Amino acid sequence: MQDLTFIETQFPVSKLSKESYKERKSNVNQTLTGLGKWWGRKPLVLIRAAILGLLLPASGDPKKDREIFLRLMTMDEEGLWRRLRSNIPAAEVYEYATDTEKEFYFTRKNDKWQWNKSAGREDREHMQRRAFNRMGYDKKLTYCLRPEEIDGPSEAAWKVINAHLKTNVKSLSELVRELGVQHFGHVPHVGDAFCGGGSTPFEAAAMGCNVYGSDLSPVSALLTWAAIHLVGGGAETAKEIRKVQKQVYDAVGRQIEEWGIERNDEGWLDKTTGETIGKGWRADYYLYCIEAIDPVTGWRVPLSPSWIIGLKTRTIARLVPDNSTKTFKIEIIQNASPEEMEQAKLEGTATDGIRCPVDKEGNWISPHMRTASPIMELRGRAGLRLWENHDLVPRYDDTIQERLYCIRWVDPETGEKHYRAPTPADLEREAEVLRLLKERFHDWQAKGYIPCRKIESGYNTDQPIRERGWTYWHHLYNPRQLLTIGQYQKLIENLGDSPHQRAGLLLGIGRYVDWYSKLCRWDPSAGNERGSQTYFNQALNTLANFACRGHATLTTAWYLSYPEKSFSVNASIIPSDARRTNYVADLWITDPPYADAVNYEELTELFLAWYEKRLPVLFPEWYADSKRALAVKGTDENFRIAMVECYRRLAENMPDNGLQLVMFTHQDVDVWADLALILWSAGLRVTAAWTIATETDTSFRTGKYVQGTVLLILRKRKETLRGDRSDIYPDVQAEVQRQLKTMLEIDDKEDPNFGDSDYQLAAYAAALRVVTAYSAIEDIDVERELRRVRRAGESSPLTDMIKSAVRIASDFLVPDGLDSGVWKRLLPEERFYIKGVEVEAHGEYRDGVYQEFARGFGIRDYRGLLGSGAANLTRLKTPDELKGRDLSGEGFAGSLLRQILFAVYKTSEEDDPRPGLDYLKQEITHYWDRRQTIIALLNYLSQKPSPAMTHWRKDVDAAHLLLGAVEGDGV
Ligand SMILES: C[S@@+](CC[C@H](N)C(=O)[O-])C[C@H]1O[C@@H](n2cnc3c(N)ncnc32)[C@H](O)[C@@H]1O
């Protein structure tokens, strides 16, 4: 038996979930997001915890190990206090003070609690610390920086850490090195062969490891390289990049001024003299919409889901029909009245299709009376005309036209912003932009300044082709955008003294690719009147109206912004198919595209179209295409085979004492079983599993019921152990029980680390641990299973084995407040109900939890038992809601618990326990034999629901009354 590491024995999942959530919620302030778009970057705090967890030995004293781990993560009391971001306001401190403290230190002023005069600086600090200590973990975090934002544990903490680990270090990187030497004989090598946005290689490098990062996508490789070398390059590198970025930005700005394409003719005056001192407001935003002829009325309709332009500035667009041409003029109105604002919202012409505001004769129709012609109709059977390479704007007879309808100008003198409809002079300038672009177009394409690649058909890439007829990547940009970005590309071609500067410039282009296209939505919401990014989700959504920035508004998109860190680096980053990995890592930390909804290989082609000629200059040994065919994706047999090939390769490239951590987000039993097959076949065995809630609610992976990231810990399987399923079941049983027992033992009663779903997961993992330790199970042919084409709904033989683990777990995990003998006698449906009451009492309303229980207890249909099935509001029906329905038959309907619930209902209805008691005595066969069980269940129902479950109040009282009656009966 190998020595176990910390993460193989325990992991602080609850606190880490909170830390991960906090990091995710910091949005643009996350360390790596400023470099460029990636979908689903893993939180750095999680990677840090993973690396430490994989390196720290388990000492045999789990409590102490846990304490040391938390200290290292600055997630202990003292570490959290070190992370304090700002003073805690007096009013907040007051909330946590004792009555005496309140009286002594606080006074009420202007309706708010404030420090009083007797509270000196020291007192205030002392009181803040006290209040902080009394807060729960979530609350504390609201006042804390993220662990990566401070300089690790304090000197005092290092003393405790060193004493326990028998080390002599003062920083995380020193510790990581020393642990690496102890365990592997050298500084640890950490690899990620699916590195995506670069979280793993970045954090590993920041912690002092030697790192390897690769990904099929060169876009990912660039982001990862930049994470390590630019963010990790410290202040000096940041300054260098900023300088060269500014040089280019200013030069393009001057060129745009020279072309005269982003200023109008408004003059501006000197405030004191009243003289005209300058000319031309500067364009801030250009708003475009598409326009199409409505097949029903024959009118050409500008399309937008709403005609509100700005909620805060109360700006709207108003359509004015012109009967002679059957078209609309568009007026722009600022400071609109509330009625006009409401009207503009209702007047949207692109909601569920084209809604033409007038009838054939040009009579205005009230918005409620308008019918929608499906947009599909516009495309016709043959679809839209496909654009050719040289099409830069729609042709005059194209079905879908693009129209500039509003410009936001900035008065350079006052800084005031003005929304205006375009004038003939503005349209002249639009024409000039097109002329300038046409002049350069072919030359620039040849030089790679603007894209020349065709859009290859695919799940996401078909959308712009189908919905707009765009066939080349440059069709996603309007002439102004192509001219501007092209000019940047031209200037940066020979610029940059170092790879860092050149990479910084290329990433700036990448940010334009995302923030400066025809797929950038205009956001009119208050305070936010601005354009958003192309990839606000994982699709290429075409828009009815879009925002195009003026050059002056591009600064936030152009300049890279990230915190400056400084660490010395030993890193190897390349684009590569994971199957071709030949780097040897001691620790592989991977997050494969496992049943993932993101088509990285398609979405990144947009960036590659712009990087095509630049990337090979910057990294001569890299390729610059997406290698779509090699992407690992889906869930079918091809996917399973590809995954085995990847993981076999990684296992081969790992020493015998190496470890792997695989992250994935699915909790479905079949998915687990598949993953087991894959990893098993790749020569790995599972040693532990944990779930961390890493996704925020609106995150892209919230589909179905996925809430957490599962971390599987794996080692190489070295022994040859053979068995068959009947041998293995008892082992699974023993392992599940052992696992749950240890978790229960180390859990903190006050601040529980594990929830129900953690125990469920631990059961799956325990089963996998047993199964994957075998090199062969006689009656399961792994290779055949992997390659087998499955029919819909068909599962693998491993599924049953894993399901059995959950059944064992559910037997073992008796709800608090119920005797285990009673629990064992209950039917699966009764257990489901009892568990449901328990989780609701814990404030748990997630749909996924009920699904997991249903799976665990082997129940197919439980919807009838739910009072609400809405995601995050799921709960059971109360006795009062169940009433007298379904009182006999199979399953729950015929169960003892169902009859008890009915008796509770009767009791509450009549406010008297006698009818309920009579019912129980008449209907329950062997009433007297089952009386103790009835008492136990009634006791549970009268105690368990929490005060927050107000819908249970009546039933809890009734259960209590009835309990008294049953207990008193016959005594
Ligand atoms: C879930 S993402 C990884 C995200 C990453 N952990 C992060 O924090 O940003 C999965 C990655 O697998 C990559 N991928 C897909 N097929 C691959 C293959 N055959 N070889 C290597 N990488 C591949 C995708 O490009 C994607 O970046």
The lowest-confidence range among 297-311, 510-524, 744-758, 902-916 is 744-758
Cβ partners under 8 Å of residue 792, min gap 6: none
pLDDT of residue 168 exceeding 70, the answer is yes
Range 269-291 average pLDDT: 84
User: How many angstroms is it from 691 CA to the middle of ligand 1?
Assistant: 20
453 CA to centre of ligand 1 in angstroms: 23
pLDDT digits (tens, 9 = 90+) for 415-447: 999 999 999 999 999 999 999 999 999 999 999
Mean pLDDT in residue range 778-800: 80
Tokens (6 digits) for 515: 């923030």
Which amino acid appears at position 395 of this protein? R
Pairing relation of β-strands 210-215 and 189-192? Answer: parallel
Task: Using the predicted structure, report yes or no on whether residue 194 has a pLDDT greater than 60.
Answer: yes
Look at residue 700 and tell me whether its pLDDT is greater than 70: no
CA of 771 from ligand 1 middle (Å) equals 27
Is residue 930 within 8 Å of residue 948, measured between CB atoms? no
Which residues make beta-bridge pairs with 868?
875
Q: Where residue 706 falls among pLDDT bands split at 50, 70, 90? A: very low
Q: Dihedrals φ, ψ of 103, to 5°?
A: -65, -40
d(Cα 441, Cα 482) in Å, to the nearest integer? Answer: 9
For residue 744, what are the contacts with CB-CB under 8 A and spacing of at least 6?
none
- Residue 699: pLDDT over 50: no
Containing H/E element for 730?
helix 725-746
- Over residues 45-57, mean pLDDT: 98
Q: Assess whether the C-beta atom of 683 lies below 6 angstroms from ligand 1.
A: no
- In SS3 terms, 763-796 reads as HHHHHHHHHHHCCEECCECHHHHHHCCCCCCCCC
CB proximity list for 612: less than 8 A, separation 6 or greater: 448, 451, 452, 453, 624
Angle at which helix 669-681 crosses helix 756-773, to 10 degrees, equals 30
User: Residue 736: CA atoms inside 13 Å, Cβ hemisphere, count?
Assistant: 28
589 CA → ligand 1 middle, Å: 12
Structural tokens at position 421: 């409809």
- 725, 826, 753, 140: CA torsion to nearest 10: 150
**Predicted pLDDT at 128:** 96
* Minimal-distance CA residue to ligand 1 atom 6: 591
d(CA 942, CA 878): 12
Residue 697: band (very low, low, confident or very high) from pLDDT cuts 50, 70, 90: very low
Which residues partner with 328 through β-bridges? 321
Residue-level pLDDT at 694:
63
Radius of gyration of the chain (CA): 32
Query: pLDDT by residue (tens digit) across 110-161?
Result: 889 999 988 899 999 999 999 999 999 989 999 999 999 999 999 999 999 9
Query: What's the confidence (pLDDT) of residue 745?
Result: 75
Structure tokens given for 909: 């209805």
**What does the pLDDT average to over 533-559?**
96
Name residue 257's amino acid: E
- Cβ count near 513 (within 10 Å): 28
**Average pLDDT, rounded, for the chain:** 91
Rounded to 5°, the CA angle 944-946-950 comes to 120
pLDDT at 448: 97
- The CA distance from 548 to 285, in Å, is 6
- CA angle 542/548/550 to nearest 5° reads 170
Check pLDDT > 90 for residue 36.
yes
- Sequence-separated (6 or more) residues with CB below 8 Å from residue 59: 65, 164
Confidence (pLDDT) at 752: 67
| Structure-model confidence comparison of residues 335 and 664, the more confident one | 335
Between CA 899 and CA 909, with CA 904 as vertex, the angle to 5 degrees is 125
Angle, CA of 736, 737 and 741, to the nearest 5°: 120
Over residues 529-552, mean pLDDT: 95
Q: Are strands 776-777 and 722-723 parallel, antiparallel or unpaired?
A: parallel
* Residue 810 confidence (pLDDT): 73
655 contacts 584 by C-beta, under 8 angstroms: yes
pLDDT (tens digit per residue) in 766-784:
888 888 888 888 888 888 8
Question: Per-residue pLDDT tens for 318-363?
Answer: 999 999 999 999 999 999 999 999 999 999 999 888 999 999 999 9
Q: Are the beta carbons of 957 and 912 closer than 8 angstroms?
A: no
Q: Does residue 575 line the site of ligand 1, with CB under 6 A?
A: no
**Residue 268: pLDDT band with limits 50, 70, 90:** low
**Which residue out of 199, 581, 600 has the highest number of ligand 1 atoms within 8 Å of its CB and is therefore the one to mutate?**
600
Q: Which tokens belong to 479?
A: 């002439």
Per-residue pLDDT at 871 = 64
Q: Which residues pair with 144 in a beta bridge?
A: 84
State both tokens at 944.
Answer: 């368990």
SS3 445: helix
Residue 233 per-residue DSSP state: B
Alpha-helix residue ranges (DSSP H) falling in 788-866: 797-812, 820-825, 828-841, 847-857
As to burial, measured by CB atoms within 10 angstroms (0-12 exposed, 13-18 middle, 19+ buried), residue 889 is: exposed
Whether ligand 1 lies within 6 angstroms of the CB of 216 is answered as yes
For tokens 């334009």, what's the residue? Answer: 512
What pLDDT score does 874 carry? 85
DSSP 473-508: GGGGS-HHHHHHHHHHHHHHTT--SSHHHHHHHHHH
The SS3 of residue 407 is strand
38 lines ligand 1 (CB under 6 A): yes
Are residues 283 and 409 in contact, defined by beta-carbon separation less than 8 angstroms? yes
* Dist CA 480 CA 491 (whole Å): 17
Which pLDDT score is estimated for 820?
A: 81
When pLDDT is averaged across residues 180-195 and rounded to a whole number, the result is 97
Residues of the chain by 3-state class (helix, strand, coil), percent to 5: 50, 15, 40
Going 665 to 671 to 674 to 676, the CA torsion angle's sign is positive
Does the pLDDT value for residue 637 go beyond 90? no
Q: What is the model's pLDDT at position 751?
A: 66
Index of the ligand 1 atom closest to the CA of residue 593: 10
Q: Which two tokens stand for residue 852?
A: 């997991």
pTM score, two decimals? Answer: 0.86
Phi and psi at 441, nearest 5°, equal -45, -55
684 SS3 class = strand
Tell me, in angstroms, the distance from the centre of ligand 1 to residue 590's CA. 8
The residue among 879 and 768 whose pLDDT is bigger is 879
* Most trustworthy range by pLDDT among 450-459, 852-861, 883-892: 450-459
If you measure from the C-alpha of residue 650 to the centroid of ligand 1, how many angstroms do you get, rounded to a whole number?
14
- How much of the chain, in percent, has pLDDT values that exceed 90? 69
Q: What distance in Å separates the CA atoms of residue 898 and residue 829, rounded to the nearest whole number?
A: 10
What lies within 8 Å, CB to CB, of 884 at 6+ separation is: 902, 905
Atom of ligand 1 nearest to the CA of 217: 25
Task: Please give the helix or strand (H or E) that residue 727 lies within, else none.
Answer: helix 725-746
Query: 200-257: per-residue pLDDT in tens?
Result: 999 999 999 999 999 999 999 999 999 999 999 999 999 999 999 999 999 999 999 9
Q: Which atom of ligand 1 is nearest to the CA of 627?
A: 19
What is the identity of the amino acid at 750?
A: E
Closest atom of ligand 1 relative to the 196 alpha carbon: 27
Rounded to an integer, the average pLDDT of 649-658 is 97
**8 A C-beta contact, residue 522 and residue 315:** no
Closest CA to 640 of 793, 784, 803: 784
Assign 756 a pLDDT band (cuts: 50, 70, 90). low
Closest C-alpha to ligand 1, atom 12: 194
Closest CA to 373 of 361, 357, 384: 357
Strands 308-310 and 327-333: unpaired
Using the 8-state DSSP alphabet, how is residue 227 labeled? Answer: I
How far is residue 50's CA from residue 212's CA, in Å, rounded to a whole number? 16
CB 408 within 8 A of CB 317: no
User: Is the confidence at residue 682, as pLDDT, over 80?
Assistant: yes
Cα-to-centroid distance, 592 and ligand 1 (Å): 5
* Rounded Cα gap, residues 327 and 390, in angstroms: 28
Q: How many CA atoms lie within 13 A of 68 on its CB side?
A: 27
